[in-house]
Amino acid sequence: MLASGTLVVVAALHLATAQLLCYFPNGRQSTDVPCNVSAPVSMCCGSSKACLSNGLCLLDDTTSSSGNSYARGTCTDPQWTSDLCPKQCLLNQDSPDNSSAYDFRSSGVQVWECDRQGYGAEAEYCCESDREKTRCCSTSTAVFKLPAATVGNAVGQGRDQHE
């Protein structure tokens, strides 16, 4: 009986650990950590990064009203079908014309704030590799708006990760 009880505990620990893994959009495992470890699905950010309520990861230790650096996080859902997975920055707008363009699906992605207001206000953003910087801000089809954010758990299409 003890052996079967031990097996149940080991299986439960394995499942709990598996749920804490984060993945890039192509399903490859990342080293990020979940923003909400108690949720069945969560957006993820790097261990030293802050999760923002608008779905971005804050890279710099700055204030909500100054220019910041951001990234698109990863997700605990390996298929990225959950509404809690980031929806921006999944495909590089340069990929159709350039086969060697930075692959947003298999790597981390810098998110650039086009009007540099800080995450405390609604702002326009775009996604680009670190090498390309804010070039994407001049491409209207690459720019998207996100609401003002606070540091804390990310939300997905109106639902808090605690739901």
For 35-88, the pLDDT digits (tens) are 999 999 999 998 878 899 888 999 865 554 445 689 999 999 999 999 999 988
Distance CA 138, CA 3 (A): 63
132: Cβ–Cβ under 8 A, 6 or more apart, which residues? Answer: 102
More confident residue, 59 or 101: 59
Question: In the prediction, which pLDDT does 44 show?
Answer: 95
Q: 17: helix, coil or strand?
A: helix
- Give residue 153's pLDDT band: very low, low, confident or very high (50, 70, 90): low
Residues 31, 64: Cα–Cα separation, whole Å: 26
Whether the CB-CB separation of 46 and 74 falls below 8 Å is answered with: no
pLDDT in tens, 4-34: 544 443 344 344 445 589 999 999 999 999 9
